[in-house]
Amino acid sequence: MNKFSLESHPKITSGFTAPENYFDNLPDIILEKIKEEQPKKGKVISLKNLSYAAAAILVLALSIPFFTSTANISLEQIDTTTLENYISYQSNVSQYELINLMNENELEAMSVNLGIEDQAIEEILMSNPNFENYITD
């Protein structure tokens, strides 16, 4: 079998065809479309008024939540996790200020038993040359 070569092979056409009369009708279709798009320019003023109205409605719509809900939100409605996240990431309240706000029982309830024996702690501290820093902290 001969090797295929584009140069020696008779010209291959793309095979693409268009519908009959396609090119007879296309100019009118396009000119019509262009004409349809042009008159829009004449309506600039009415569109402008419309955009003011749209802006006014938008402002009203956006302010509805302020009038209705914001005023009524109280601390009880916010769930604890949200509050906690806010305090730890968004505010400047320090650890000490938080501790001062709690009473003895609340602090006790928060403490976690790590299950480490006193002796173990002592051993770690003794073997660590920087233990003084841990004690003072």
The two three-digit tokens of residue 81, written as one number: 């996790």
21 near other proteins, judged by CB under 8 A: no
Taking residues 69 to 108 in sequence order and writing x for each that binds other proteins by CB under 8 A, - otherwise, the string is: ----------------------------------------
39 near other proteins, judged by CB under 8 A: no
| Per-residue CA distances from 80 to 30, 95, 98 (Å) | 63, 18, 15
Whether the CB-CB separation of 131 and 125 falls below 8 Å is answered with yes
The two three-digit tokens of residue 117, written as one number: 């024996």
Q: In this chain, which of 21, 27, 97, 112 binds other proteins, going by CB under 8 A?
A: 27
Cα Rg of the chain, angstroms: 39
For other proteins, which is the closer residue by CB, 29 or 57? 29
Residues that bind other proteins (CB under 8 A): 3-6, 12-19, 22-23, 26-27, 29-31, 33-34, 37
